[in-house]
Amino acid sequence: MDLTTDDRRARGRGRGRNPNRRIPGWASSLLARLARDRPSIVTRDTLATYLVEVKSQREVDRTIDELSRLGWLAPLHLKGTWAYLPPGEEEIIDRYIDLRAWKARDPEAAFALAGEAAAWHLGYLDRAFDGPVALWLPTEARLPFGLRPHVSVVKLGWRTKDAVRLGPTPSLLSRRRLDLTAWAGGLPAFGPEALIVQLSVRPASFRAWADLVPHLDDVAADTSVRRLEDLLEGQSASAWQRAAYLLHSGHRTDEGRTMLERRPRAALPTVQLGKGPDAVWVREFRVVDRLIAPLQSALGKA
């Protein structure tokens, strides 16, 4: 994703800036190897492997301290991880560097970009989002302590085993001309169906509604109703109503009606969507819409 100048400065400030980096004799072979491989993340284990490969007898912790002091490694928010800064790069500009560090330190960690991050990478937002990255975690998972101030956690009742169902299909990525391997920066992320579930279960967890609403047709068009119903299994009746209404708002009204008829509970309560002074009552879905319809009306007037 493209970052603004301010975002780049914010990410880089205090995290590895050192324009006068030296290469001491003891580190020349090691730094040459790092420059060749250009790993984005270095852990104690990976650095120990590099030291063995270059036949160095130096201690890992001492090496990390020295390379950090010289500006070749920058500490991250996750304990035991560092970003490698190759020659010519003086600051960290990767917004997801801490998440890559988590994967590098704990390869079995299950998470996915959600909310604005997923919507941005799927092409549903016209501008990069601000604020912390929304991150889905399985119900039984805990976020590492160092990352807690820097991400917004979303839990939706899914467990680790469900992670494989949350991303977009290869056919959707191909249709949208997105790289199958580099999409979303190479990190797992929500597809349109999981995104709709988030919007339906926890509407307030998504901050960029004004940017998303003009693209609801794209969100709905990209959505497999069958996959959406599978992901809604076990969710509340209100979540089913909001999800069906989102399809309706994206001009897939017939599919929204059919999905509403297949909801697991017969009751159809009145549900709220959003907060605001203006409201539209949608009788068919029994939704009091203070969010999508008012925004669509405002955009129509603009």
* Residues 83/71, Cβ–Cβ less than 8 Å: no
CA separation for the pair 24, 3 (Å, rounded)? 34
- Gap between the Cα atoms of 278 and 164, Å rounded: 39
- Interval 66-109: pLDDT, tens: 999 999 999 999 999 999 999 988 889 899 999 999 999 999 99
Give the closest residue to 173 by CA, choosing from 118, 227, 128: 118
pLDDT in tens, 175-228: 999 988 889 999 999 999 999 999 999 999 999 999 999 999 999 999 999 999
Structure tokens at 31: 């730094």
Q: Which CATH number fits domain 5-93: 3.60.15.10, 3.30.465.10, 3.90.56.20, 3.30.420.10?
A: 3.90.56.20
For tokens 């609801």, the residue is: 216
**How far out from the chain centre does Cα 166 lie?**
12
Kindly tell me if the per-residue pLDDT of 29 is higher than 50: yes
* Predicted local distance difference test score (pLDDT) of residue 90: 84
CB 195 within 8 Å of CB 118 = yes
Whether the full predicted model's pTM is greater than 0.85, yes or no, is: yes
| Banded model confidence at residue 20, pLDDT cuts 50, 70, 90 | low
Q: Report the pLDDT value the prediction gives residue 201, as an integer from 0 to 100.
A: 97
Instruction: Select from 8, 40, 14 the least CA-distant residue to 187.
Output: 40
Give the integer Cα–Cα distance in Å for 51 and 55: 6
According to the model, what pLDDT value does residue 5 have?
Answer: 34
C-alpha torsion sign, points 137, 44, 91, 65: positive
In this predicted structure, the answer to whether residue 3 has a pLDDT above a threshold of 60 is no
Domain ranges of the chain: 5-93, 112-267
How distant is the alpha carbon of residue 272 from its chain centre?
A: 26
For residues 134 and 184, is the Cβ–Cβ distance under 8 A?
Answer: no
Closest CA to 195 of 272, 296, 119, 82: 119
